[in-house]
Amino acid sequence: MSHRSLVLHDAFAFPGGGEQVAVTLARAFDADLMTGVFDQAAFAPDYFGSALPQSLDAPGRHPLAARLSATLAMCLAFEHLPRTDVPLALHSGALTLLAHGRIAGPQVLYCHTPPRILYDHRDFYLARQSPLRRPAYRLLAARYRRRYETAIRAMDAVVANSQTVRRRIRQFLGLEAEVVHPPVATVAFPNLGQEPFYLSTARVDVLKRVDVVVEAFAALPDKRLVVVSGGSELARVRELAAGHANIEIRGWTEAAELRRLIGTAIATIYIPRDEDFGISPVESMAAGKPVIGVREGGLTETVVHGETGILLPPDPGPADVARAVAELGPDVALGMREACQRRAAAFDTAVFIRNMQAVAARVMAGRSQPTPEKK
């Protein structure tokens, strides 16, 4: 048996919220990190501290599968994990738990969400496939779903990152989960004053609605928007912003510059579709900056409407964003500073670590109890 615990994360391809959770868990439990794919160039030199993740190199080990589907290659990589015996395995992702049969020892899943491609967004993702690829996509999704449902039922405990995800776990899998909100290093986001711009930090993909935010500011030439992220829809969002001098699309931004922008913005805007939790709004509130959010998913658990920001109605359009920007001007935003910082403190890293250590202690104590003898 290894004397060190193990944290498994699907992929380290960019420094997002899930990656932050995995690294925080590894530090809190003095654990080794293992992942299916690792792009070291995407991370700052000090991101992982002294120990880099061990990569299974899913595409390299399963090249034929990778040509068909990156997800299939990842599934195979975890299903064929070398057998290991550890005091505790913590899964952070939707693919790593497929390694459950290769790990001896108690196992906990920190569930960011049951895979959207298998459940509530299945039809959405299927429709994005070409007609020729749809039959293969259906087969792969069915294979993944069978293995996922077997694996999640093999966990010693399932932890949801929000009440929203807890409800999905109950709805789709019939399982109960404890809620532990993700960690936010609140001290890393100071208030640095106020400059005349609004900030969008959401990843630029189809579910984050950054295009809606850009369209709103295209009709607000006297209001400035800065977009700091990248993703599959970046080219399209750049096209929407073209010709509008008040909109700046920066793409991926280094962590120090991101913190500076959060600390100096009037407010941040984050309106994803049914978000699992959403760390970005908490980072914004930690800096004393209110959030223009949406009354969907995890934002209903973090942003307090009228106190730490504005929650738009579900499925908002550009006009909804424009009205919120008009309402949340510089003076109103300044008045929300203290409430924002108090709210963010409830999601601090120390709270996350304390709660996860309590979950792990219960699981390990349960495993250490002798099995009653049958009479």
- Within 13 Å and on the Cβ side, how many CA atoms surround 259? 11
As a whole number of angstroms, the distance between CA 235 and CA 254 comes to: 20
Q: pLDDT tens digits for 218-264?
A: 999 999 999 998 889 999 999 999 999 999 999 988 889 999 999 99
In 3D space, the residue among 153, 154, 183 whose CA is nearest the CA of residue 26 turns out to be: 183
Exposure string of 70-109, with b = 16+ CB inside 10 Å and e = fewer, is bbbbbbbbbbebeebebbbbbbbbbbbbbbbeebebbbbb
As a whole number of angstroms, the distance between CA 187 and CA 345 comes to: 9
Domains of the chain: 6-183+349-368 (3.40.50.2000), 186-345 (3.40.50.2000)
Residue in this structure with the two tokens 């001007």, named with its chain if needed: 329
Q: pLDDT tens digits for 12-70?
A: 998 888 999 999 999 999 999 999 999 999 898 889 987 899 999 988 888 877 777 78
375: confidence class by pLDDT, cuts 50, 70, 90: very low
Enter the pTM of the model: 0.85
Q: pLDDT tens digits for 256-312?
A: 999 999 999 999 999 999 899 999 999 999 999 999 999 999 999 999 999 999 999
pLDDT for position 374: 42
Percent of the chain with pLDDT over 90: 75
Residue 233, both tokens: 């829809």
As a whole number of angstroms, the distance between CA 5 and CA 87 comes to: 6
